[in-house]
Amino acid sequence: MRRGLILGACLGVCASAQVSPTRLVTAYPAFLARLDGNTLLWKDDTSMPLTAGRVFTSPADRLDHPDLRELLRQPYPACTPLHAPAYAQDPGRARPAVFFGKMYGSSPAAVKAKLVVVNWFGQPLMFSRVNGAADALRAVEHELTAQPALRKYLTPSAGTYLWRVVAGSTRQSAHSWGIAIDLNTRYSAYWEWSGYREFQHGIPYANRVPQAVVWAFERHGFVWGGRWYHSDTMHFEYRPELSGC
């Protein structure tokens, strides 16, 4: 009982609970060579510190200026039963733009040059071919084709690539890199629609996306916005350093 309480109190906060940095190297082998202490070494002989040394002043500051340690701070509970996330649990929502831009492109033109068409239940969608992202989305579509009852949640997709910042912020959206897909808005819930402020306590959780859909994406390396306290249940993004079963 006591052990359970301690683990519960620690979830996603304790240093020991954070995701191992080696998962970055495993997830992105085309770009990353290895870790050397606090430094991530790229195959193009450049390097990036895991910790930038910034002293965060607020939860929002962590999302505005995340380093790689911040990206890895909260483990993502892939392929576990769906439940309302705890306060401020947003695993995958911190995205260092320099890190993702270096792989997927740091301008609209650079990203677009790496997009390919993915057939999403008859709807052509643009997705990045980098890191196998487009192939992963194709695999999700293939897997879910066998379950026609789920189709209404999946189509029409509300979009994939769009170079933009997250609404109301200066943060680059994962849609900018062509690695995110929004499903049918009709069955979706987005925290901002509730009228709450970011990090306000009590943001309601109202998911209608079935677990079978979420797990199919997670098996292929996507994280789901419905596992965030700031819930975005139409949103999936390719983040193999955090997801996968």
Minimum CB distance to Zn ion smaller for 67 or for 182: 182
Minimum CB distance to Zn ion smaller for 90 or for 182: 182
In the β-sheet with 32-36, what is the strand arrangement from edge to edge? 32-36, 39-42, 47-49
Minimum CB distance to Zn ion smaller for 66 or for 226: 226
Minimum CB distance to Zn ion smaller for 42 or for 121: 121
Name the minimum Å distance from CB 115 to Zn ion. Answer: 16
Name the minimum Å distance from CB 182 to Zn ion. Answer: 4
3-state secondary structure the chain: CHHHHHHHHHCCCCHHHCCCCHHHHHHCCCCEEEEECCEEEECCCCEEECCCCCCCCCHHHHHHCCCHHHHCCCCCCCCCCCCCCCCCCCCCCCCCHHHHHHHHCCCHHHHHCCEEEEEECCEEEEEECHHHHHHHHHHHHHHHHCCHHHHHHHCCCCECCCCCECCCCCCECHHHHCCEEECCHHHCCEHHHHCCCCCCCCCCCCCCCCHHHHHHHHHCCEEEHHHCCCCECCEEEECCCCCCC
Minimum CB distance to Zn ion smaller for 31 or for 121: 121
Please identify the residue of the shown chain whose CB is closest to the bound Zn ion.
235
Task: Give the tokens for residue 167.
Answer: 């609404």
Applying CB under 5 A, the residues found at the interface with Zn ion are 180, 182, 235
Minimum CB distance to Zn ion smaller for 215 or for 224: 224
